[in-house]
Amino acid sequence: MNDAWGERIWLDGTDFRGRSRLVLYGRVTAADAAELHRAAVAVVAAVDGDGVAVDCCGAEYLDTSVIQLLIALGHEVTRGGRAFAVVGASDTVREDFRLTGFAAAG
């Protein structure tokens, strides 16, 4: 699977742990929230492995609306008994997560 959802969001197969991989790149703002929502719905429907990994290694900034969608995605994935992780977040993005109380970032 390699589906683009706008310029800054795409689904990119699975990571080495078998989790579906959702990749965020650049400045992901409120203008991207609708695309992220569609991608999140698609990744939840497509999860056939161990869960979902959101790869933020290329993300420079995540708007609070984007963080809220990631929190909702995490709840949906873990409710189904699967793992959810945010990986590769920069110090700046991790600080945004910390300020919003989102502890999934590593």
Question: Where residue 106 falls among pLDDT bands split at 50, 70, 90?
Answer: very low
Which token pair is 77? 């994935």
- Tell me the β-bridge partners of 6: none
Q: Taking a C-beta distance cutoff of 8 angstroms, is the pair 33, 65 a contact?
A: yes
* CA-to-CA separations, 81 to 32, 87, 95, in angstroms, rounded: 28, 19, 28
CATH architecture for residues 2-100: 2-Layer Sandwich (3.30)
Q: How many CB atoms lie within 10 A of CB 4?
A: 13
Record the pTM: 0.81
**What pLDDT is recorded for position 1?**
42
Domain layout of the chain by residue ranges: 2-100
| pLDDT tens profile 42-70 | 877 776 668 888 999 999 999 999 999 99
| Cα gap 101→93, rounded to integer Å | 12
